[in-house]
């Protein structure tokens, strides 16, 4: 299997590095991995290599890139074209802005996904499967809502947990106050400022970011299984195969994992849904990396006909 370091560029001028693993025999099928909160392409080499090898044995490429939510707080170079003030068109200018999980705008994740898809298409891939892990699953579901899954052959939701029950539990009585403070800051145009750490349980969040991840019915609230009356808004737009994979030792589950899986089964159209609870796996699929890779590969082969 061949491995290359590559780079993608988003439409709003961000560049992200990543790895592409390709089997020796040319293939038109690739699996994309979209990481969760603070995730990068590099911190989990054991998982990356296990997945790449499992996919490669089945003739499938594997790609993983950084995204604007990498790390907690990062300063990234934003490129743009300067065309005013007598300067020639096409000359690039750049400036640094804050990104990372603490500062990212959830809705802009669509730009990262689109950049990954453009890269894959330029490399000649025709069948592109997006696997979102953790918050990457939220972003993948949101891509269905916003773009109908355009350009994808299928989507995998790996460890698709809602953040809201956990945040409520961790903050307890501070939860309501933190939301109120974040809301006031947003209204006063102070949404890009960090909330006091005592309000967020020691987590770095801007007011806008906390408002997005912790408040019900926001775009980031893609998996509201904690409320049986709620619909998964994105699910009604599903027109492509969807795999839901959850470990039976999922430590972020606020209720039995089978109950969560059943919520997904009811929400996603039956003809597109596949779901499995992976025995012995936790949220990061630690020590079950090979099994995870096999499940991904087998599902791709089952729907890629």
Q: What are the pLDDT digits (tens) for 85-120?
A: 444 455 567 789 999 999 999 999 999 999 999 999
Contact between 13 and 78 under an 8 Å Cβ cutoff? The reply is: yes
Task: Please report the domains of the chain, with CATH numbers, ordered by start residue.
Answer: 2-162+222-303 (3.40.50.1820), 164-219 (no CATH)
User: What pLDDT sits at residue 39?
Assistant: 86
User: What pLDDT sits at residue 22?
Assistant: 98
User: What pLDDT sits at residue 134?
Assistant: 97
User: What pLDDT sits at residue 91?
Assistant: 54
Low-confidence ranges of the chain (pLDDT < 50): 83, 85-88
The whole-angstrom separation of Cα 284 and Cα 61 is 21
User: What pLDDT sits at residue 83?
Assistant: 44
User: What pLDDT sits at residue 304?
Assistant: 85
15-24: pLDDT as tens digits:
999 999 999 9
User: What pLDDT sits at residue 176?
Assistant: 97
As a whole number, the mean pLDDT across the chain is 95
The whole-angstrom separation of Cα 294 and Cα 271 is 22
């Amino acid at each position: 299997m061949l491995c290359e370091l590559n780079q993608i560029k988003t439409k709003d001028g961000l560049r992200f590095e990543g790895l592409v693993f390709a089997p020796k025999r040319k293939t038109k099928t690739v699996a994309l991995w979209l990481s969760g909160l603070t995730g990068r392409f590099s911190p989990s080499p054991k998982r990356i290599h296990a997945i790449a090898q499992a996919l490669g044995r089945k003739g499938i490429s594997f790609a993983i890139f950084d995204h604007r939510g990498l790390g907690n707080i990062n300063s990234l170079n934003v490129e743009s074209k300067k065309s005013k003030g007598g300067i020639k068109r096409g000359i690039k200018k750049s400036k640094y802005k804050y990104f990372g999980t603490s500062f990212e705008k959830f809705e802009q994740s669509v730009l990262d996904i689109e950049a990954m898809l453009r890269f894959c298409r330029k490399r000649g891939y025709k069948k592109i499967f997006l696997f979102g892990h953790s918050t990457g699953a939220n972003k993948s579901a949101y891509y269905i809502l916003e773009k109908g899954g355009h350009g994808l052959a299928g989507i995998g939701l790996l460890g698709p947990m809602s953040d809201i029950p956990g945040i409520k539990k961790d903050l307890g009585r501070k939860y309501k106050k933190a939301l109120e403070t974040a809301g006031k800051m947003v209204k006063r145009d102070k949404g890009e400022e960090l909330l006091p750490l005592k309000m967020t349980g020691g987590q770095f969040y801007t007011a806008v970011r906390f408002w997005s991840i912790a408040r019900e019915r926001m775009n980031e609230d893609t998996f509201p299984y904690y409320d049986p009356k709620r619909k998964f808004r994105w699910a009604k737009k599903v027109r492509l195969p969807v795999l839901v994979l959850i470990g039976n030792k999922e430590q972020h589950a606020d209720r039995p994992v089978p109950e969560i899986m059943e919520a997904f089964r009811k929400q996603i159209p039956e003809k597109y849904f596949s779901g499995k609870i992976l025995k012995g796996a936790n949220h990061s699929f630690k020590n079950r990396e090979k099994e995870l890779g096999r499940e991904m590969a087998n599902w791709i082969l089952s729907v890629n006909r």
